[in-house]
């Protein structure tokens, strides 16, 4: 439709131009008819370029129309191709989805196949093991068959031997009857001998009881309960009520005769960081450092009045001593409480007084009155307060001291009955 309008417009333009040119030529030629032929030639020359241009435009329009038709056809083909591509794409997507589904099925199938293969391998391994077991069982069966045959042969042999043994048993039974009668006679004689032996054993037991009684009476008579009878410095046995016999170190050199050494620090080879049970029992060596034991001290000091003598050697070599005239400690239920009596004020100070009436403290039984455990802090059992003015069980060093901080290298605690003092 657009092309027809354009063609009509162009045709009108050409006609208008032609009419204008003809009119002009007619006006010119009316004056001179003779020039008609020239006018026609002139008009032709004037119109011809326009006609050529019109033909060119028409041809171009026709070419353009042809091209447009072809373009439309191409667009139509392209649209069809696009639609076909869309259909192919959709089909491709569906096929890709199917392909992924088939791929997943293939992977699952491969996994299932691998599992089956593993099971087959396992079954083959078990089958091989069972075959080996079967082979072994066959070997064992063959061996047992051979053994069974041997047993049958031995059984026949034993049967023949059994018959012979039955005959021998009959003969043995007769002999046994004779022996049984003889055995009865011997048993009667043995019973009579046992009766005599039992009587002798009873007599021996009575003799032993009398001997033990005599021994105990003799020991109680001869073995004392203190070191008072001994005039030397050596280890001697004591017999103390409630404990019995035990050895002690006696001392007759430091402060006269008859002293029992209950504690000694002379070498530093023994640890005094011990638990309650060990302090109760005692520990160490009489040749070096030792503690005689809380229970022994309690039992000894409960028999009569004892005095305490303390021998001290300072780091600088100075020697000190202290005395208490009524030393004792209570029983375990009361915590081995300390009691001292009167202090002999002949040395620097009454350092032990602060611990009087206090229970003994170890790292596993805290009886001090402080916030912590002094036995843990100073690694030693003692009659701690919070914590002490003296600690003769402390480790060697700055904690082994007497009152007003006298550092010590040696300490001994000795006791003896008060009545043994000779004035």
The full DSSP string for 133-165 is HHHHHHHHHHHHHHHHHHHHHHHHHHHHHHHHH
pLDDT at 13: 65
Nearest residue to 279 (alpha-carbon basis) of 332, 222, 242, 236: 332
Residues across the chain = 423
| Whether residue 384 has pLDDT greater than 90 | yes
- Give the C-alpha distances (Å, rounded to integers) separating 390 from 223, 270, 307: 35, 19, 19
Specify if 371 maps to a domain.
Answer: yes
CATH number of the domain encompassing residue 302: 3.90.215.10
Quote the percentage of the chain above a pLDDT of 90.
36
Specify if 83 maps to a domain.
Answer: no
pLDDT at 219: 47
What mean pLDDT is predicted for residues 394-402? 91
Task: Output 52 or 235, whichever has higher pLDDT.
Answer: 235
Question: What is the chain's mean pLDDT, rounded?
Answer: 82
| Whether residue 412 has pLDDT greater than 80 | yes
Residue whose entry in the numeric block shows the structure tokens 């007497």 = 402
Specify if 353 maps to a domain.
Answer: yes
Specify if 358 maps to a domain.
Answer: yes
Specify if 333 maps to a domain.
Answer: yes
Task: Output 377 or 61, whichever has higher pLDDT.
Answer: 377
Nearest residue to 395 (alpha-carbon basis) of 379, 383, 408, 382: 379
Number of domains composing the chain: 1
Residue whose entry in the numeric block shows the structure tokens 């047993």 = 151
Specify if 271 maps to a domain.
Answer: yes
Task: Output 39 or 302, whichever has higher pLDDT.
Answer: 302
Write out the residue range of the structural domain in which residue 400 sits: 235-420
pLDDT at 391: 93
Distance CA 309, CA 262 (A): 10
Q: pTM (2 decimals)? A: 0.50
| Whether residue 221 has pLDDT greater than 80 | no
Specify if 142 maps to a domain.
Answer: no
| Whether residue 6 has pLDDT greater than 80 | no
Specify if 73 maps to a domain.
Answer: no
pLDDT at 5: 57
Contacts of 415 (CB under 8 A, 6+ apart): 259, 260, 262, 297, 300, 301, 306, 307, 308, 309, 327
| Whether residue 271 has pLDDT greater than 90 | yes
Give the DSSP letter of residue 418. G
| Whether residue 149 has pLDDT greater than 50 | yes
Q: pLDDT digits over 295-312, tens only?
A: 999 999 999 999 999 999
Q: pLDDT digits over 348-380, tens only?
A: 689 999 999 999 999 999 999 988 999 999 999
């Amino acid at each position: 439709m657009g092309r027809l309008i354009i063609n009509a417009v162009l045709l009108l333009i050409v006609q208008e131009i032609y009419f204008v040119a003809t009119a002009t030529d007619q006006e010119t030629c009316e004056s001179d008819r003779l020039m008609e032929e020239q006018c026609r030639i002139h008009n032709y020359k004037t119109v011809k370029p326009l006609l050529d241009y019109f033909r060119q435009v028409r041809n171009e329009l026709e070419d353009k129309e042809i091209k447009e038709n072809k373009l439309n056809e191409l667009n139509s083909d392209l649209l069809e191709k696009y639609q076909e591509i869309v259909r192919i794409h959709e089909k491709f997507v569906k096929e890709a989805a199917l392909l992924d589904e088939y791929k997943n099925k293939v992977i699952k199938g491969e996994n299932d196949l691998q599992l089956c293969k593993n099971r087959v391998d396992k079954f083959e391994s078990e089958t091989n093991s069972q075959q080996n077991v079967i082979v072994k069982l066959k070997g064992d069966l063959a061996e047992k068959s051979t053994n069974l045959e041997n047993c049958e042969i031995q059984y026949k042999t034993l049967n023949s031997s059994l018959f012979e043994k039955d005959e021998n048993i009959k003969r043995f039974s007769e002999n046994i009857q004779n022996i049984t009668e003889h055995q009865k006679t011997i048993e009667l004689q043995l019973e009579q001998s046992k009766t005599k032996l039992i009587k002798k054993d009873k007599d021996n037991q009575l003799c032993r009881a009398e001997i033990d009684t005599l021994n105990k009476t003799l020991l109680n008579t001869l073995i004392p309960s203190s070191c008072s009878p001994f005039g030397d410095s050596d280890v001697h046995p004591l017999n103390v009520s409630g404990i019995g016999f035990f050895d002690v170190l006696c001392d007759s050199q430091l402060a006269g005769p008859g002293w029992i050494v209950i504690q000694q620090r002379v070498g530093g080879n023994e640890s005094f960081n011990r638990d309650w049970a060990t302090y109760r029992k005692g520990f160490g060596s009489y040749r070096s450092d030792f503690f005689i034991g809380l229970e022994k001290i309690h039992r000894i000091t409960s028999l009569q009045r004892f005095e305490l003598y303390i021998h001290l050697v300072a780091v600088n070599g100075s020697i000190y001593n202290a005395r208490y005239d009524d030393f004792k400690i209570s029983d375990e239920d009361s915590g081995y409480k300390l009691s001292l009596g009167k202090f002999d004020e002949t040395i620097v100070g009454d350092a032990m007084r602060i611990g009087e009436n206090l229970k003994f403290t170890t790292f596993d039984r805290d009886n001090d009155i402080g916030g912590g455990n002094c036995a843990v802090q100073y690694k030693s059992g003692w009659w701690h307060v919070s914590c002490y003015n003296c600690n003769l069980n402390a480790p060697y060093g700055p904690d082994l001291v007497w009152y007003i901080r006298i550092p010590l290298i040696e300490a001994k605690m000795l006791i003896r009955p008060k009545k043994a003092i000779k004035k």
